[in-house]
Amino acid sequence: MRRIFALLILTAPFGMLSAEEQSSSPYATAADFAKYAMKLREQALLKVEPQVFVPTSSRPAIQRYPWKTNIVTTVFWVGEQAGGNNPVPNFRSSWDLNWQADYGGFDNPERSGRRNYIPVAFIPRQNPFYCALPYNDVTHGQFKPEAPLVIPWFKQAYMGQGQSVCWHRWIAIRKGNRTCYAQWEDCGPFRTDHFQYVFGNERPKPNLTHGAGLDVSPAVRDYLGLQPTDVTDWQFVDVKDVAPGPWRSYGENNNFVLARRQMEQRLVQQGGATGTKK
């Protein structure tokens, strides 16, 4: 208020000053005084702190999943026997008790037994581009207490109590200048509880495979040219961000295979409806 009152005085017309004030003024004319007053006014305004508008409504930020970089990566496969650094056989997964049968057979990791990213013995009934991460959102048929809080897509993907929202989720895996895409089909290596790494900023815990934090299938290995133990980067991706590639070709669990099948069925139905017209 004091600053405003002073500005009013400084900007007042010269004629409003008293005779005593005019006689003691160092400015000969009203114009000179007006210029001086305006200069002071501009200096005073420059010192006034600007008001910052803070919106009261919060708009959600665009969902982005950060890259996990320099992650030790190992290879595993459907039907792998227990032994060595693999304490649990891979006939079943954390979410599928009949994983090998549902996949269609043994996902032979030998390069001589594979062609075009799939085993030569059969066409997989699930996506051959799969991976494992060290977290399971479900235990004993119930969601873990932290699951709704730490899984970014939990609310959107929720289908019912105990139905995993991590199973079949897509990730991108990068090695050098090549990137492939895979679906999350099992939990590991070694752990099923490390949500601080999978969804947070922690690094993988030490383990028997040099602190590995990602297991990938033979198809991923072959596409990226990985060694049995290697280093990659990975990140979660939404289905709409999965680039075209061989990972879209096979699998009852594959969003793109299911979408093509639905489109084909609609075309058949439309063709049948058109054929019945007279």
Q: Are 177 and 168 in contact (CB under 8 A)?
A: no
Q: Which residues pair with 133 in a beta bridge?
A: 187
The pTM is what? 0.75
From CA 172, how far away is CA 269, in angstroms rounded? 36
Q: Is there a domain that residue 54 lies in?
A: no
Q: Which two tokens stand for residue 156?
A: 């959107």
DSSP category for residue 256: H
- Residue at 116 is within a domain: yes
97 and 191 together in one domain? yes
Collapsing DSSP states into helix, strand and coil, what is residue 44?
A: helix
Spell 95-126 as b/e; 16+ CB within 10 A means b. bbeebbebbbebbbbeeeebeebbbeeeebeb
**Total structural domains in the chain?**
2
Instruction: Let me know whether 39 and 103 are in one domain.
Output: no
Specify whether 109 is located in the same domain as 18: no
Looking at residue 213, its pLDDT comes to 98
Listed as ranges, residues in the chain with pLDDT below 70 are 1-63, 274-278
Same domain, residue pair 10 and 113:
no
Residue among 218, 215, 252, 185 at smallest CA distance from 113: 218
Give the CATH number for residue 138: 2.40.40.10
Query: First CA to last CA across the chain, in angstroms?
Result: 87
Same domain assignment for residues 11 and 130: no
Whether 24 and 126 map to the same domain: the answer is no
Q: What is the Cα–Cα distance from 177 to 190, expressed in whole angstroms? A: 29
51 in any annotated domain: no
Which residues span the domain enclosing 165? 68-262
